[in-house]
Amino acid sequence: MKLQRMNRRALTLGALAVSGALALTACGSDDNGGGSGSSTSSSAANASSIDCGSAKKGEQLLSDGSSAQKNAIAAWVKNFTQACGVQINYKAGGSGAGVTAFTQGQIPWAGSDSALKPEEVTASKSVCSGGQGIDLPMVGGPIALGYNVPGVDNLVLDAPTLAKIFDSKITKWNDAAIKKLNPSATLPDLKIQAFHRSDESGTTDNFTKYLIAATPDNWKYSGGKAWQAKGGQSAPQSSGVAQQVKATSGAIGYFELSYVTDGMKAVSINTGAAAPVAPSTDSATKDIAAAQVVGTGSDLTLKLDYNTKAEGAYPITLVTYEIVCDKGNKAATLPATKAFLAYIASEDGQKILSTIDYAPIPDTIITKVRSTIASIS
């Protein structure tokens, strides 16, 4: 059943890639990962219910940022372009690139897996006339630890072991710490090839926040979008890390669940709950549902619990924010930007996420997002 599901995901996403070719360009962006898509009839229904607002057919809207949400953006763009005739080029160059492009006034909105820092909010005020950049949580999901270890199908790891693997302190798959967590597995005497992001990434930021929260004694780095630990290998964007893991025997890397494709498996995490937790949309939603809004004013930054021990809650989650001016948006791009953001935050837009291995934003939070989008100017 799992193989059938993976094949079905790959076929569906391939269809999305073809049908969305005019809306997305490949320049500087990731290859699509896995992920199941909505059916043709569902897509048509979603497209027909989209409110295009004052967006004009034939417009082109540029954006950049998180590669974590690229597969979600591809599905959304397909429907939005069909309904409104607006072509959207989402570059998916990484959260750092997206925030920089936004604060420099190059794009009307950006995607980031980390909320704006105070200095970035300050920088945004120069491009948001009379306003500032705000964070709107739009896409949730688990950060999977994909691995390629021959003969090992159900690998369990915990925070201390993961920290030591990614800090080059555990270097073989048959290490005693891994054996203890996997007593029934036949672990090979194989070198661990740990892959991390080479670009500044909100996925890195959230993964290291988990290590800092769950095992501070074993992860002494301050965290952030740039990888800080020594050793290991690197690749750009989530798709680049996933491709390296899939191609390298003994590899492990972190990326969104939608990039766990055929031939790759994902680690289950021992959180201290009764049973290890596998990454899934349901297990991620359980964690995100406990998030608190800590932003002020129109900003809806969330605080996630990376050290959860709740039953069935996956602790390594991220939320991708769409970053936009609350006031002072450019008149030329505001109608299309507002219409697109309103669509992806809508009930129809959010429904798509669970079909492609992302977690919809909980109702209590997405309701606030919709209200905030309606007020941007």
pLDDT of residue 132: 98
pLDDT of residue 47: 62
- Across the range 257-280, mean pLDDT stands at 93
| pLDDT for 146 beyond 60 | yes
- Across the range 53-70, mean pLDDT stands at 94
More reliable by pLDDT, 47 or 185: 185
pLDDT in tens, 323-369: 999 999 999 999 999 999 999 999 999 999 999 989 999 999 999 99
| pLDDT for 135 beyond 90 | yes
CA angle 7, 79, 35 (to 5 degrees): 20
pLDDT of residue 263: 75
pLDDT of residue 21: 34
- Across the range 150-178, mean pLDDT stands at 98
Which pTM value belongs to this model?
0.80
Q: Which residues face 266 on adjacent strands?
A: 146
More reliable by pLDDT, 87 or 12: 87
pLDDT of residue 97: 95
Q: Which residues face 325 on adjacent strands?
A: 133
Report residue 30's pLDDT band, with 50, 70 and 90 as the boundaries: very low
- The tokens for 185 are 């597995």
d(CA 115, CA 233): 26
| pLDDT for 37 beyond 80 | no
Measure Cα distances from 23 to 59, 75, 114 in Å. 11, 11, 26
Query: What percent of the chain clears pLDDT 70, i.e. is strictly above it?
Result: 87
pLDDT in tens, 274-324: 999 999 999 999 999 999 999 999 999 999 999 999 999 999 999 999 999
pLDDT of residue 20: 37
Q: Which residues face 241 on adjacent strands?
A: none
146 and 253 Cβ atoms separated by less than 8 Å:
yes
pLDDT of residue 48: 65
- Across the range 158-164, mean pLDDT stands at 98
| pLDDT for 11 beyond 70 | no
